[in-house]
Amino acid sequence: MKILALPYTHTLSHLSRPLAVALELRAMGHEVVFAGESARASFITGQGFDLLPCHEPDPALLFNNIRTGKMRFVDDAEIERMIAADLAVIDSCRPDLVLTDGRFSAALSTHVARVPHAAIVNVSSTQYRALPYVPFFTWLPEALVGRDSSLWKSLDRVNLALEMALFDRVMNVFLRLSRKYGVKRTVTATNCLEGKDITFLADIEEYFPTRGLPESHHYVGPLALKTNLAPPAWWPLPKEGGPLVYITMGTTGVPEFFPTLDRVLRGAPFTAVITTGGQAETPPSTPGKVYWEKYLDGDLITGACDLVVCHGGNGTIYQALSHGKPILGIPTIPDQKFNMRRVEALGVGTTLDIDQFLRRPESLLERVREVTGHPGYRENARRLEGVLAGYHAARTCASIIGRAERA
């Protein structure tokens, strides 16, 4: 097969997942071509894949809209530009299948182009999620409505119906274009990241449950690219007796985070390893105390650390849990807050509000002490580590795509 991969290349999470699948597909003898335009696409070309130019939404505008709670996350004209860009690259590439991650125009454009479409997505961004994205009823006291009661589950269903209907109404461009193009399965703001034909859920059911899941949707487990980056000269770190904390904010943080972090870590009672993900200038390290890098092999550092402090990104959370490590999340966008509610519900970590951290940076030190001093977080994380060991996501995705070819 010839497969066109269309990730949102401005964020490593959406880029690395299809790249992990592409490596498996190439090993099976398939040809994979990528399309995108960000500087981070060098991760793709560095693995020997061709990269075609393709318009992508401005990340500063997109994430500012998401961070400030705007349901109208892009304007109608941008969706139309994306569809036109999709169709142009599909026409030039002539793929047998399109694989996407974070490309919310693809379910429409692949219908127009009459090409099969598979997408990688998190349960939180599907119409089949069993838990509300924005909980409306948390103000009800648990003593009045137990969270395991049938009444609470009914409220969840009402919550889900309301939030999806509202989101689809505000972003009704998808409904309008579905009618225009005669799409059989209506594309909405709620389901626009799902695949037209195949959807890979990069989650486990224990973490993100679903309801009414169709056969076209597959739990494959977390998708992670093994970077195998060479360790820095200062690794491995000597054991000084205190906790080792790994701090990473992915590629969707806020500008003030790293300068504030640099100041507060000077008096921290632990050793910290921080990756900036290219979001900020890398400050000088303080040997024996604080180590700064742009990128590191996340599995290497996570395997050795006692705690992962992160933005609440899906991939980083699963990376921590795959090593049985607890999590302190500092989310900045709704997806990450949704993820951290699950982290807390499963007892594998806790959340620190970004505004609280920026107002009083010492709160980070207090939360690190709380999580590392509570063995229950670590024990719960180790239980999920055992569950995750049974998943081989990239291989599973590649096999399902291969079966689609034979069908």
pLDDT tens profile 385-406: 999 999 999 999 999 999 886 5
Q: Among 134-148, 190-204, 241-255, where is mean pLDDT lowest?
A: 241-255
Question: What's the mean pLDDT in 59-84?
Answer: 88
The answer to whether residues 135 and 19 belong to one domain is yes
Q: Would you call 220 exposed, middle or buried from its count of C-beta atoms within 10 A (0-12, 13-18, 19+)?
A: buried
Q: How far apart are CA 257 and CA 268, in angstroms?
A: 16
The answer to whether residues 382 and 399 belong to one domain is no
What is the per-residue pLDDT for 255?
77
Q: How far apart are CA 202 and CA 205, in angstroms?
A: 10
Q: How far apart are CA 298 and CA 5, in angstroms?
A: 24
At 330-351, the pLDDT tens digits run 998 888 999 999 999 999 999 9
Residue 303 has pLDDT above 80, yes or no: yes
32 SS3 class: strand
Tokens of residue 93, six digits: 């590439």
Please state the separation of Cα 139 from the chain's center in Å: 28
The bridge status of strand 97-101 relative to strand 290-293 is: unpaired
What is the per-residue pLDDT for 360?
95
What is the span of the domain harbouring residue 315?
Answer: 244-388
Residue 371 has pLDDT above 60, yes or no: yes
The answer to whether residues 204 and 273 belong to one domain is no
First to last CA, the chain: 13
Residue 361 lies in a domain: yes
Tokens of residue 301, six digits: 């550092």
Contact 170, 190 (CB under 8 A): no
At 222-240, the pLDDT tens digits run 998 777 788 999 999 887 7
Give the list of residues 6+ apart from residue 137 with CB closer than 8 angstroms, or none.
145, 152, 155, 159
- Where residue 40 sits, what CATH number does that domain have? 3.40.50.2000
Q: Calculate helix-pair angle for 375-388, 314-322, nearest 10 degrees.
A: 90
Number of domains in the chain: 2
The answer to whether residues 102 and 206 belong to one domain is yes
Q: Among 150-154, 237-241, 312-316, where is mean pLDDT lowest?
A: 237-241
Q: How far apart are CA 272 and CA 338, in angstroms?
A: 26
Contact 237, 244 (CB under 8 A): yes
Q: Which of 257, 255, 244, 251 shows the shortest CA–CA distance to 352?
A: 257
The answer to whether residues 50 and 105 belong to one domain is yes
Averaged confidence pLDDT in the chain: 92
